[in-house]
Chain A
């Protein structure tokens, strides 16, 4: 192993070792700060935009085209379908609102990509390639269910067979694609940040070529696979949102189960112990007999498999087929994991929060004239602020609450 590796890992260890309380304070502070900076960005962007009517804020007509209050009202309340309407008597709302479904749909998918990133970070590696693993996992799930469908009966039995087949196919494809940069890192010392990003581009192009050459139905003008059979869709049980909402509580339960499973794997199994120590104290791990190269490949494989599962869920629950422009959930997973301090249980909460942002982004596009891409700006800002705990320590010191934040 080269001399540089331990240092990179020590840097991650610093992030991982901070106490849970400190992490929570930093994550909340980062979020608040990102929202505040977003507020300024919206206002400034409104000055550059052109519009016919300017919004009135607190009775004052603003020179800006955008109303940041309206934006944040959509981002956080619109994200859940404006439940406050009930309080003001201006409308109705149920917990089964389609925006709630959209929020939980994004949450479900982000749990998988967030877990994928978290597993690699805990092992001391940066898997930035979840997007590629997702793309290939989605493709494998779509193809496996389409081609397995004629072999199994329809109905409940078909679902019991096809859904697991799709998920396993996705996990395998993502896992193999994730293990490649793990092996390159372990045996050839190739920087995994760069190789995973490069493999994203490779995966996107290869999947596109494969689908356009072999798997696009003759009557389709877009590059996409055939629709998966109805029996392969994640069933809408135990009780339902609207079928068109493309969300199933069963999918969310599966996500929660994986959160618990990964948390257990990391915290309570000997493999999890090896993974964590080779991430935080590589020398000690090697001294203690951890087969570090094999641990690297395995943990990147698991990380990739989780990314592949997110792709499978995207196909089986939401899209119903592989499309060339699947959403960039892999990059969101980086923010989710970093916001959660790479803790699997934290990933659950961070994914919920990001689900709100995603659903809110759609609400912004619907309810305001501000481009929904705003949420992608917040994604970057949140990482930026989480990355600098020292900033909040100094800020806390200035404000006289430093003792609260110190580890």
Chain B
């Protein structure tokens, strides 16, 4: 099948959105008008940003790992283990103070880095099949977190604790919100007062973009995935670059999982497929859609989380009696559609392959 390239696809999406907006403006009473009315509320953008956090952070991690040549399909497991551990640690410290929550956050990140380290050793030192090892990371976390929760909390769901309180940009927030100008007030509501995890996400996107495009480490990561032999010849240890990249994927995914549990929700839900519910796999589709570019990946994550927040909005603000389970299907179907339509995603040349350096043995 000939696939449309990314530009065509984005243009089509943009066109569709423009049509809906135009219809909404012209016929305010129509469904399009109603959707536009909901989507233009600041709260919808705020929800979309918060929902994008775990997906974006895990996807950024996935970019580092896969660019270096290790396909990390276990992002889901890293999100699960960090979201649980963060709640556990924060709860053990009382679960109410900001210090307890941030320590819990750090604990969650640490757990994810450790699990990613295990994955790295299994893949790089013991030459495991990366897909199966990644599935193992997912299934280990899917078993371990609900088990540990049952041990400590007596059930697969933890007790509720506090969550991060919002940060406000001083002076500017009030100035923007009270400016009386629609767009400034919107920006003030959405961007100048937000959950710290949103700022964390912006920071991570910027730093990842910079590191990948403008540092020596970024070039090593690229070479390690595209042409490990050349990197080896240049005197850089391929295995070390890959270890570092997988650990970075653990760090970023850990921030994503902990942000969801102690940042946004205030508990861990371990029933069924846990509160992560496929976000790690959506993250993989996200960075494929974003073509391994942190900025494009963030855009793709916003597409998914925007759809999800619109679903919440439709349920809250319209009288339509659509079963919520039906609307929840939309992001998952979108992932499938994206994978079918996305063209020209060229995975790194050596991704998925064990690299045997000449002086190993």
Contact = CB atoms under 8 A, between A and B. Distances in A.
Interface string B163-176: 00000000000000
Given A331-B142, A380-B143, A381-B136, 11 more contacts: A8-B131, A15-B132, A126-B135, A190-B340, A198-B278, A205-B332, A206-B325, A206-B326, A376-B147, A380-B144, A384-B137
Contact of B129 (A374, A375, A376, A387): A387
B294 interface: no
A188 B328 contact: no
Given A376-B146, A384-B140, A197 B281 contact: yes
Interface in B111-137: 122, 125-133, 135-137
Q: How large is the interface on B (under 10, 10 to 19, 20 to 34, 35 or more residues)?
A: 35 or more
A371 B132 contact: no
Given A187-B1, A198-B336, A205-B329, A390 B128 contact: yes
Contacts of A309: none
A126 B131 contact: yes
A8 B156 CA distance: 35
B147 A45 contact: yes
A170 to B, nearest CB: 22
A36 interface: no
Contacts of A126: 131, 135
A338 B352 contact: no
A380 B132 CA distance: 11
Contact of A387 (B133, B141, B278, B281): B133
Interface residues of A, number: 60
Contacts, number: 168
B219 interface: no
Interface string A169-203: 00000000000000010011111011101110110
A206 B333 CA distance: 12
B147 A11 contact: no
Nearest to A386: B132
Interface string A343-384: 000000000000000000000000000110111111111011
B351 interface: yes
B150 A379 contact: no
B177 interface: no
B43 to A, nearest CB: 25
Interface in B316-361: 323, 325-326, 328-329, 332-333, 335-336, 339-341, 346-347, 349, 351-353
B60 to A, nearest CB: 17
A177 to B, nearest CB: 12
Given A188-B3, A197-B281, A377 B339 contact: no
B139 A12 contact: no
24 contacts: A8-B352, A11-B352, A11-B353, A45-B148, A48-B151, A184-B336, A188-B1, A191-B284, A198-B281, A198-B335, A198-B336, A199-B332, A201-B273, A202-B329, A334-B139, A335-B139, A373-B156, A377-B147, A378-B143, A379-B143, A380-B139, A380-B140, A383-B139, A394-B126
B285 interface: yes
A247 interface: no
Contact of A202 (B129, B332, B339, B347): B332
B277 interface: yes
Contacts of B340: 184, 188, 190
Interface stretch (A69-77, A90-98, A152-160, A208-216): A208-216
